Amino acid sequence: MTAHSGDELARLRAENARLAGLLEAHGIAWRVPEAAAAPQTWLVPNLAPDKGAVLPKPHAC
């Protein structure tokens, strides 16, 4: 990290702290509840290359 990016990081952290203070001073809830903070886990089927998806055949009209 360069000195410039370190200065920018410090400036952004200070700005975040200032904005969080404003929200809290006005009674605005801004923190994410712990239950909502947990990432969702998605189940992805394990498909082998030889077992592709079966597509429906077109219907004759």
Give the position of tokens 């009209």.
61
The pLDDT tens digits of the residues spanning 2-56 come to 777 889 999 999 999 999 999 999 999 988 877 766 666 776 666 666 666 666 7
Instruction: Kindly report the three-state secondary structure assignment for every residue of the chain.
Output: CCHHHHHHHHHHHHHHHHHHHHHHHCCCCCCCCHHHHCCCCCCCCCCCCCCCCCCCCCCCC
Q: Domain spans of the chain? A: 2-29
Taking alpha carbons only, the member of 26, 14, 47 closest to residue 6 is 14
CA distance 17 to 23: 10
Q: For residue 31, how far is the Cα from the chain centroid?
A: 14
- Residue 61: its pLDDT value, please? 65
- Residue 2: its pLDDT value, please? 73
* Predicted TM-score (pTM) of this structure: 0.48
